Structure 1
């Protein structure tokens, strides 16, 4: 009698909802960055750029929508939580997993900085007229990679905290962030608590940078709790949305800046370092994820929409890396066409028409950039194994962080070249280098 053949169980279908959320978040960031860049022309030639927040204070409310980093961290943690659970008590496997994530980000960053470095070198011949006005804008967005890798390195600790305290870990982190802002504010009386945001962001203290860790780990903690089923449902989502709006209103009313991006380092900023106010955006975004989960999943059940999400997911990180670069050819084309890319200031005639034209130019010019990037990346080896040695991984992580920090701090000129050196070293260290096998007569 023939024994029944044992077949492997088919893997569970991929959950497209987190993929859709991450793709949407990256698209929002891309269009938000393009809208925020205001080219300034003199006699038809671009000579400088402004930032939308610098010329229109009311634009700060738009950042409640476009500051989607908490959403990305929340979803990434939810997706990774099960894998971390399986190797929770195997530190070496955890480190190897982080190395693979770091390598996956380092390799395309090498390409980006290499091309940007080549443009910098060529600008020495052409004068760098387009490069100079966009100098820091071309590298500052790389901060997201550092933040993402930093919080993912602490995923095992976040998962353990969820096992031990559940949502109590979330409450504890909120309390720590509030305490940090209180210590920054140094209120002298109960009445000063009503000016908490004003006082906290007026005092630049080293202690405030503790919230760089706490505030960005909070959406990760929430994402793990969501994955574990500790909260869910439309009503919960609506309650979190209401809490987020109330939180933001109270925060701004107490003097925290309206904008949730940029600002003065160590001063009037909700981001540098992160403040209690930034949590309001997180509550609002997490609430939206829960409130729209059911209808979104019904839409994603359609094959055409699911396929579109798959494509966007594959292009998401390359688009994030290269979307600022597309502003260079967009500015050139805008000049050649005489397009109204310098539309003046908010409130002036044609301002929003000029924003729309700039968006269309950026979207048009990012298309060939992305086609070239995708074609190049598809020719590269995609099956590289990350390093397993602890020293190599730690050294690679340090080199990666140093390279990206250099490019952010110095801009494209000369940050791209200096940063490229660090990221190239990181990519090499984070990659496994198997030793060639010796022939039998050499053993």
Structure 2
């Protein structure tokens, strides 16, 4: 999704390859989320939802492709690295830069949460039949905003690490993540080492959450290294793809879960907290970026393709926020049409046809939602000004993180209301210009 304040020279044309990577990743995320949602109907009415990973363990391999959050981090770091490097000795400018990004995410999130609050209030008078089955699904995807802003806050440290250590900074992150998983597993013998993944993910320890930052800093470090030319080329890309496949095979064989996203919270996970296995997806994605770069750049030279990429870049943030909301009207329309949106489980007749119908309904219903949202956001974007006061920026960051966390934890009811208060306060603080720091 498009990020604000990405530095490029005035004379140089915009590099569309990073934009194309983000556009592709965005589409994968959107269609992946729709595919994973399984409406459950009783006498033609939606009463619940399942998650594809819960009903079909084998779908975990699909997440090796659809877990594209590392690609967003990788590309964002690559695009921003040069500008951050120029500001390394100016802490205030760095903080101001981060505030601009946080504000650009906070403002549309306020709109999204405000609409969820309105829908939640309306549902009290309509029985809440559609909202209840999708309650947490409507807010859990906001975790990406927290993770992205968290690692971007450390982007100056990552740039310094690249300048001083080069690719050794990448190796250092891998080593720290491996050490943390080893400490989680506490293997006592060689046979235990062969069960490293099983032992490490048997339960989430406080120590394991250190990897919440360490693992997600890896694609950022790789993006900076790529931007500075530390690795490149089709050959290197193929080597990284091979490394990723071997890495995933070895880690899953040792007991790490097959899936790289979570179907439900509380079970064994590669995401909460992140594990060594998740790094395999990162090698795959970075390898693909290198391996297909030449072909992609030739395609992007075509004006029609470049225009599509530009459009998806402009719609990135709204589409990410609102694509889950479109499941509400899609469920309503599916009921009215008698569409086979509840097709049972994989292996049963009509399951994949039902998935296709559900995705088409979501795509159909997201169109008017996006049109309304974009029209609204366009009218209020011109007065965006990020805060200059350090205290206001820090307070805004705390309010933003707290509001999104509340929304994620509590769902649309009552999380959207609590989250709205925090995110709205953040939007106000990050626009505020105090007299002094």
Q: TM-score range by the shorter chain?
A: over 0.9
Q: Which residue of 2 aligns with 1:231?
A: 231
Verify the 8 A CA contact 1:84 1:155 in the aligned structure 2: yes
Deviates more, 1:54-63 or 1:301-310: 301-310
Question: Post-superposition shift, 1:10?
Answer: 5.4
Verify the 8 A CA contact 2:240 2:287 in the aligned structure 1: yes
Q: How does 1:19-30 map to 2 (within 5 A)?
A: 19-30=19-30
Question: Post-superposition shift, 1:433?
Answer: 3.6
Question: Post-superposition shift, 1:385?
Answer: 1.4
Verify the 8 A CA contact 2:177 2:275 in the aligned structure 1: yes
Q: How does 1:255-294 map to 2 (within 5 A)?
A: 255-262=255-262, 267-294=267-294
Q: Which residue of 2 aligns with 1:130?
A: 130
Question: Post-superposition shift, 1:203?
Answer: 3.2
Verify the 8 A CA contact 1:197 1:254 in the aligned structure 2: yes
Q: Which residue of 2 aligns with 1:331?
A: 331
Question: Post-superposition shift, 1:286?
Answer: 0.3
1:166 and 2:159 matched: no
Q: Which residue of 1 aligns with 2:424?
A: 424
Task: Provide the TM-score with structure 1 as the length reference.
Answer: 0.95
**CA distance, structure 2, for counterparts of residue 203 and residue 338 of structure 1:** 43
**CA distance, structure 2, for counterparts of residue 200 and residue 67 of structure 1:** 21
Question: Post-superposition shift, 1:383?
Answer: 4.0
Question: Post-superposition shift, 1:378?
Answer: 1.1
Q: Which residue of 1 aligns with 2:3?
A: none
Q: How does 1:215-226 map to 2 (within 5 A)?
A: 215-226=215-226
Let me know the Cα RMSD of the aligned residues.
1.1
**CA distance, structure 1, for counterparts of residue 381 and residue 135 of structure 2:** 31
Q: Deviations over 1:328-383 (max 9, x none)?
A: 00000000000000000100000000000000000000000000001111111324
Verify the 8 A CA contact 1:204 1:267 in the aligned structure 2: no
Question: Post-superposition shift, 1:150?
Answer: 0.2
Paired residues, number: 427
Q: Which residue of 2 aligns with 1:114?
A: 114
C-alpha change, 1:265 and 1:40, in structure 2 (3 Å) is closer
Question: Post-superposition shift, 1:21?
Answer: 0.3
Verify the 8 A CA contact 2:245 2:280 in the aligned structure 1: yes
Q: Which residue of 1 aligns with 2:405?
A: 405
**CA distance, structure 1, for counterparts of residue 156 and residue 368 of structure 2:** 40
Question: Post-superposition shift, 1:101?
Answer: 0.2
Question: Post-superposition shift, 1:261?
Answer: 0.4
Q: Deviations over 1:233-279 (max 9, x none)?
A: 00000000000000000011000000000156565100000000000
Task: Provide the TM-score with structure 2 as the length reference.
Answer: 0.96
Larger Rg over CA atoms: 1
What SS does the aligned partner of 2:21 have? helix
1:152 and 2:163 matched: no
Deviates more, 1:346-355 or 1:189-198: 189-198
What SS does the aligned partner of 1:41 have? strand
What SS does the aligned partner of 2:399 have? helix
Q: Which residue of 2 aligns with 1:212?
A: 212
**CA distance, structure 1, for counterparts of residue 392 and residue 314 of structure 2:** 28
**CA distance, structure 2, for counterparts of residue 265 and residue 337 of structure 1:** 33
Q: Which residue of 2 aligns with 1:6?
A: none
Q: Deviations over 1:119-153 (max 9, x none)?
A: 00001110110000000000000000000000000
**CA distance, structure 2, for counterparts of residue 342 and residue 10 of structure 1:** 52
Verify the 8 A CA contact 2:167 2:230 in the aligned structure 1: yes
**CA distance, structure 1, for counterparts of residue 80 and residue 365 of structure 2:** 34
**CA distance, structure 2, for counterparts of residue 265 and residue 132 of structure 1:** 17
**CA distance, structure 1, for counterparts of residue 22 and residue 28 of structure 2:** 10
Q: Deviations over 1:146-167 (max 9, x none)?
A: 0000000000000000000000
